[in-house]
Amino acid sequence: MVNSAQQQRNNESQWFSLVMENAVSFLNSAVKNLDNSPKNSIIDLYTAIELILKARLMKEHWSLIISKVEEADIAKFEVGDFKSITLGQAFRRLSKICDECINEYAIRNFSQLGVHRNQIVHFAHTNFTTSKSEVVAELWASWFYLYELINEQWSDYFVGYEDKFALINTLVIGKRDYLEEVFKIKSAVIKSEISKGSGIYECPSCKLNSALVTKDTQIKNVGKMRPLGTWGRMSYPAKKFHCLVCNVGGFVIIEDD
């Protein structure tokens, strides 16, 4: 009887390329399926995120993507015979072993996306309407954080994939009309916040005037909370914000009027 799970033997470099090809395929599917299958877009996007986190860990050492490192076996790894890590394990290993400081908002977003994915796949999601505008807001935020990681912080690890990621980014931006619909829906909330004296600024992600500033803060060490698009370790004033449209949040430098 033929083992259906049997795979070709590959070395670490070959597996990395195969994992990345798989991730890019899922990313493309996530964006292109929005119109016809929003639920599948969520599933595909989450799968791609998991694969890219594993690919980054593989750049450190192949054993880091195995659930129980103490059971790592190079022979089994080369034929893909092992249980891989969960999203939570990936975050912990990236932090503790690779010394990677991932935006806490990105971790929160990826984790929540995983909750949606699990509810959709394993049973049913009663609170997720799967309207295109709702799904695209979820996808937009997740892709924003992921693209920032692979295009900035991890650019040295994904050399050769820049054009593919840029193309996917163009596809995501092409869905902006859905975000503009969300902006219209949220306009009353935005006006209410302004009337209460809250600050509303242009969101660094969706570029709509929907970034709500909730607290001014001085960042002492950017290692844990890095302003979006900034990867150096330094101290400077920044403001905490949350976008009411695309759900992106973080710390960003905003010049006072």
Summarize pLDDT for 168-183 with one digit per residue, the tens. 988 888 877 777 877 8
In angstroms, what CA-CA distances link 26 with 10, 179, 204, 207?
A: 21, 22, 25, 26
Region 100-115 average pLDDT: 88
SS3 26: helix
Tens digits of per-residue pLDDT, 202-235? Answer: 887 888 899 888 655 444 444 444 445 443 333 4
Tens digits of per-residue pLDDT, 227-247? Answer: 454 433 334 556 778 888 887
Per-residue pLDDT at 55: 96
Cβ atoms within 10 Å, residue 191 = 11
User: Measuring CA to CA, which residue among 71, 28, 26 is closest to residue 49?
Assistant: 26
User: How far from each other are the two terminal CA atoms of the chain, in whole angstroms?
Assistant: 73
Distance CA 92, CA 256 (A): 37
For residue 215, give both structure tokens. 């607290």
For residue 181, give both structure tokens. 């619909």
Contacts of 199 (CB under 8 A, 6+ apart): 212, 213, 239, 254
In total, the chain counts a number of residues equal to 257
208 and 182 in contact (C-beta within 8 Å)? no
Distance CA 66, CA 54 (A): 9
- pLDDT level of residue 252 (50, 70, 90 thresholds): low
Region 190-208 average pLDDT: 86
pLDDT surpasses 90 at 115 = no
Which pTM was predicted? 0.73
Per-residue pLDDT at 48: 96
Domain boundaries, the chain: 12-174, 186-252
Q: Pick the residue with more confidence: 160 or 184?
A: 160
